[in-house]
Amino acid sequence: MNLVEIREMSKIELIAKIEELKEKKFRLTFKHKTTVLKNTMDIRNIRKDIARINTILNEKNMNKH
């Protein structure tokens, strides 16, 4: 996900996306512990996407006040 796409999303969509990414990260981490992943960078990229979304959510909350 790029920053422009994230900024265009509403708060509800961002929260839903975070939940989706957390679930995906959990599944990849579990799979990584039990079998071999083709690309271990996927876990890192998901973690960074979650951080980006959280940053945008915090910015939107700051602008609200």
| Helices and strands of the chain, counted as H and E runs | 3, 0
Reading the block at residue 45, the tokens are 């990229």
Could you tell me the residue ranges of all domains in the chain?
25-65
The residues, any chain, with a CB within 8 Å of residue 46's CB and separated by 6 or more, are: 21, 24, 25, 28
Q: What 3-state class would DSSP assign to 3? A: helix
Res 14: pLDDT: 97
- Residues 6-58 pLDDT 10s: 999 999 999 999 999 999 999 999 999 999 999 999 999 999 999 999 999 99
